[in-house]
Amino acid sequence: MAFPRPKPTTMETLAMERANPPFNIRKLSIAMHGSEKALVLKEKFMAEIARHPAFKLSDIHDLSKDELRERTMEKFASMVYFVTTESLETFSLRMQLIGIADPSFWTRFGVAYGLFLGALRSGATPNQLSYWIDKGVLGLNGVIGCFAMTELAHGSNVAGLETTATFDRDSDTFVIHTPHLGATKWWIGGAASTATHAAVFAQMIVDGKKYGVKTFVTQLRDTKTFQLLPGVTIGDIGKKMGRDGIDNGYIQFTYVRVPRAHMLMKHTQVSRDGLVTEPPLAQLTYGALLGGRTSMVADSSNSAKKALTVAVRYAAVRRQFSSGKNEIETQLLDYPIHQRRLMPLVAQAVAMGFTGLRLQVMYEQMTQALDTMEPNDPNLNDILDKLKETHATSAGLKAFCTWACLDTIDKCRQSCGGHGYSAYSNFPLMYADFAVQCTWEGDNTILSLQAGRSLVGAWGGAIKGKKLAPGVAYLNDPAILTAKSDSSLSLSDIQRAWQCVAANVIKKAAEEYVSHLKSGKSKDQAMEICSQSRFIAAKVHTVGYIFRLFREAVEEMDDNEETKLLKTVARLYGLWQIEEQQGYFLKYGYFTAQQIDKVQDYVDKLCAEVRGVAIPLIDSFALSDHIINSPLGKWDGSVYESYFAQVQAANPTPKEHPYFNRLIKPLLDRQNEDMEDPGEAMALEEELKELEEERKEAASSKK
């Protein structure tokens, strides 16, 4: 008698998935992290925070808003130690990891160091920066900063901020004032209960003349008593969709005086006599925005990888239904449609990761060039052109990478079925915490239009024969507009496809813009009317840009099994996105309908190919169980055991029911027989019979 084959356990299933991968996981992981040093540091950081009591994550889903904020502040002391003892490069890698583990703390700490200190570094003179460092900015011993830019009625339009800073020559001070409710500083992380000072963005007014938005360091609280200073009103804006560990608040200023020296004067200076000196190169202020956008591309990749680690591991161990004569239920990951749900998203996360690495190098080179550049630099125009192009490219990348990540998190949640809806899967918190990335540091749609505006300008330069920056250099080739596929669907064919379609949609947006100008519209009106075409141009260009940077990174590597896999992943990303946007490729004739069918077939095959190594590939993301914080994605596959244990630990059965006596018992004890029957009380049935008899008698008397 043949006995049915026992179903492998979830742990056995995952072990089988890892058996004999065709590539070296460690080498692949090093490539994804940019260097062995970066990977080793990440592993060190993961071990440190896993043992740190303040970084406990298993109970985070059941903490109140106040408990989350207290936990956030508990982490500050250890991070202050590292920020004052580690190199900037090492500490940046540490914070990148913490951003994946605890976005609330990463944001709150980033407000003090990334935004407040960043404002000082980018806007203060050397002497001003030294002054504030001496005051304790680095060690948070004397100054805990926040970043007061956004207002209740203004966010993306920084130039339209309405808080005022009016120079008073007699006292050598600026008077910071909130003229009406809409000018209230809003969403200010750290303001509600932890910041002592703010970098306040306000319209500078000298002798009645407005000079635009400048930055003023303004003290909010007494550092000894923590009481609000005169004229400063602060409140808590309350519970948010996510990141409740951040004490976001509002600030109103009522004629608050700050010394003139508290205005950051690296670019614009105001003398004791009220003489205003504007910067010769206004474009230099672009540089301050690039760092945040660059980090958000990397964060999009890392957060997507976190979600995918959970979803792919769960799909490997979860079995549903059996196919054919197979007695054992089929792994979700073996269903072609499930491969289609997840494998392209894996490819996209990897592509964004390599883009983030290369963007970071570009950002560092740009920062170095800006720091050393003088107004009479012979390379001035080239540097400024590259700055503008990098600024616009980073805007598009920030928008489309954060959108892609948010979409990935929700698709991963759905792919885990009902269990993905549990808070303990960590998907709900991941989604709620990441959603803000699509609107802060620039609303994504607005940033996309900024990128589109730059592309329209680049097209104008190209048709005039101007040599364009590398990111848009393909526009210098007129032949790219009519390029056709060679049907190879190779990496070079895919890149040419994206350049062809991007050039055409940019050309369309630019021609629309020019036609509106010729019809008498102003430049701003013309740009607004062609917003949709600008948006499409930004989208297509940005996806093509991500593919190009990914391809370049892979083709610069040594030829080995890891590189071979990454080329497959790059091909999957490029072709899947072509399939997603196939209308443009058909419209501009790069592919025929038959070739698009071939693209779909290739995506199917590539998904199956990547599925074969999905678990080792996911392992190369190098994310510990502590960082993932989801039983569904446990490294050893102990999904159900871990899930059940966490639910039990977080929800112990109380000794006494908390509301039985007050609510449930009265309900159960209610006596139905005591409930009065209104019909019986009225003797309604007898009355109705009498009425019926009367009708019958009346009817018979008529006869």
Active site residues: 441
For the record, the structure tokens of 249 come out as: 């608040």
Find out whether 441 and 398 touch, Cβ atoms under 8 Å.
yes
> How many CB atoms are closer than 10 A to CB 473?
14
The three-state secondary structure class of 412 is helix
| Dihedral pair phi/psi, residue 378, rounded to 5° | -65, -25
**Contact call for residues 585 and 591 (beta carbons, < 8 A):** yes
In a 13 Å sphere around the CA of 691, the CA atoms on its Cβ side amount to 6
The two tokens of residue 518 are 């010729």
- Give the C-alpha separation, 264 to 123, whole Å: 5
Burial of 101-132, coded b for 16+ CB within 10 Å and e otherwise, reads: bbbbbbbbbbbbbbbbbbbbebbbeeebbebb
Torsion of CA 205, 210, 213, 215, to 10 degrees: -20
CB 186 within 8 A of CB 150: yes
How do 256-259 and 173-177 pair as beta strands? antiparallel
- The region that residue 656 occupies, defined by phi over 0 for left and psi between -120 and 50 for alpha, beta otherwise, is beta
Continuous segment of H or E residues that includes residue 319? none
Q: Helix, strand, coil proportions of the chain in percent (round to 5)? A: 65, 10, 30
For 254-365, list the strands marked E by DSSP: 256-259, 269-270, 276-277
Phi-psi sector, 490: left (phi>0), alpha (psi -120 to 50), beta: beta
CA–CA gap between residue 518 and residue 520 (Å, rounded): 5
Nearest to 216 by CA among 181, 250, 182, 166: 166
